Amino acid sequence: MTGTPGTPDPTPSDLNSHRSASPLHDLMYGHIHASALRAIVLHGIPDLLADGPLTAEDLAARSGTQAGPLRRVMRLLAMRGLFREAQDGTFALTGSGEVLRADVPGSQRAAVLLFTGEMFRRSADGLTGTLRTGQTGFDAAYAVPFFDHLGTEPDESRLFDTAMSSLTSGVNEQITRSYPFPDSGTVVDVAGGRGGLLREILTRFPGLRGVLFDRPETVAGHLLDTEELKGRWETEGGDIFAAVPRGGDVYLLKNILHDWPDEDCLRILTTVRRAMDAGTRLLVIDAVLPGDGTPHPAVALDIVMLMTLQGRERRAAEFEDLLTRSGFRLNRVLPTPALTSVIEAEAV
C-alpha cells in the first residue's frame, strides 16, 4: 500500500518519523507488551540467547515455536530495549534483557511470570469494579484473600516467594549499606520471606545473630544455610497477627505494612511491640511517598496493592501515625538508593 493518491510515497526519513509512541498509546498497548514478554519467557528465548545472537529461525527450531510469529514478538520487545535486532536478522539480549534468563544472578524470570500471570491479570481487570465498590479485583475474582489463596496453591506460592526474593536481591545490599546496624545483638526479621535481607545483614555484620520468622512453608525454603553464617541463625514459623519471637535487639518489617490496610497494620505493629522491650529498635522498610505529590515509582506499586491486597503505599506522616498508635516513636526516615526507605522507630 502506498501513500494517499496524489501525494509522494514516504521517504525513508518520513518512515522513521513515528518512532516515539504517545504516552496514551503506551498505556493502551500495555497489556500487549506484558503478554509478549510472558510468551518469550515461557518459551525460554532469553536462555537460548545466552551464548550469543541467533536468528528467529534458529530460535524457533530450538524452542519449538514458529519463526514468523516469534520474529514479530521479538521485534516488539526489541523496541522496549530487551533485545537488539541486527541487520543480518539475528536477535541478541541487551543488558536489560539479560535478567530474563533463568540462570543469572538477580534473574527476574519468576517476577515476570508472577506479574504477567493469571492472578495479577484478573486482579487488574477488576479495577473497574474496585473504583465502584472498593473491593480488590483479586477478592472479586477468587472470593478469598490473596495470601489465603497462596496457602492453597503450592506452585503459585513458590513462584510468589521466588519472585519476591529476586525483586529484592539487589535491594537488600543497598539497605544494609544505608543503615548503621549494630556490631552485635540479634536481628529478628518478621515476615522475612526466605531470608534474603537477613542473610545480607548477617554477612555484612559478622557479630550479629538472626531469627527468620514467617509462614512455616516459607521459612522451610530459607536461604540462610551457608558456611559463612553457620551457627548464627534460626528460623521460626508462625502468624504475624498472633505472636512473633521475643528477645531481639532489632526487628525488621520489610515490605510488609504496604500489604495491609491501616487496621491490620496496627494489629501487626501491636503484636511486634508486645515482643519488644522498651528502647528496642524497629525498622520498617517500605517505600515512602512524597507528601507533595511529586512523582514516585511506588505510585504504580500502590495500584498493585489496591487491586490485590487492600494495602497501600504511605507517606512519612502516615507511617508515623501508625507507629505512634501502636507503641512506637518515629526516630528518622533514611532513604536508600532503592525504591524503599528505612523508617527507624523505637519501642516506648
Q: What is the pLDDT of residue 14?
A: 57
Q: What is the pLDDT of residue 293?
A: 83
Q: What is the pLDDT of residue 5?
A: 43
Nearest alpha-carbon partner for 300 in 171, 168, 115, 132: 115
- Domain C-terminal end among 100, 120, 155: 100
Same domain? For 129 and 90 the reply is: no
Report the run of H or E that residue 155 belongs to, with start and end.
Answer: helix 154-167
Same domain? For 33 and 83 the reply is: yes
Do the beta carbons of residue 135 and residue 123 sit within 8 Å? no
The verdict on residue 10 lying in a domain is no
Same domain? For 187 and 241 the reply is: yes
Beta carbons within 10 angstroms of residue 22's beta carbon: 8
pTM over 0.95: no
Which residues of the chain are under the pLDDT cut of 70? Answer: 1-21
pLDDT single digits (tens) 178-218 = 999 999 999 999 999 989 999 999 999 999 999 999 999 88
The verdict on residue 123 lying in a domain is yes
What single string gives the DSSP state of each residue in 33-89? Answer: HHHHHHHHHHTTHHHHTTTS-EEHHHHHHHHT--HHHHHHHHHHHHHTTSEEE-TTS
Identify the domain containing residue 88 by its residue range: 26-100
The verdict on residue 141 lying in a domain is yes
Report the run of H or E that residue 335 belongs to, with start and end.
Answer: strand 328-335
Q: What is the pLDDT of residue 168?
A: 77
Same domain? For 138 and 182 the reply is: no
The verdict on residue 310 lying in a domain is yes
Output DSSP code: residue 11. P
Same domain? For 180 and 47 the reply is: no
The residues carrying an active-site annotation are: 258
Same domain? For 60 and 204 the reply is: no
Rounded to whole angstroms, the Cα distance separating 123 from 283 reads 30
Q: What is the pLDDT of residue 20?
A: 58
Residue in this structure with the C-alpha cell 541463625, named with its chain if needed = 233
Q: What is the pLDDT of residue 110?
A: 96
Crossing angle (nearest 10°) for helices 67-79 and 56-63 = 120
We report the CATH number of the domain holding residue 229 as 3.40.50.150
Q: Is the Cα torsion angle 79, 81, 82, 83 positive or negative in sign?
A: positive
Q: What is the pLDDT of residue 256?
A: 95
Q: What is the pLDDT of residue 101?
A: 97
Same domain? For 270 and 331 the reply is: yes
Vertex 14: Cα angle to 11 and 16 (nearest 5): 115
Q: What is the pLDDT of residue 17?
A: 56
Give the three-state DSSP class for 260. Answer: coil
Number of folded domains that form the chain? 3
Same domain? For 179 and 289 the reply is: yes
Which stretches of 188-245 are DSSP H helices?
196-204, 216-219
We report the CATH number of the domain holding residue 45 as 1.10.10.10
Q: What is the pLDDT of residue 26?
A: 86
- Domain C-terminal end among 141, 163, 185: 163
Same domain? For 221 and 331 the reply is: yes
The verdict on residue 20 lying in a domain is no
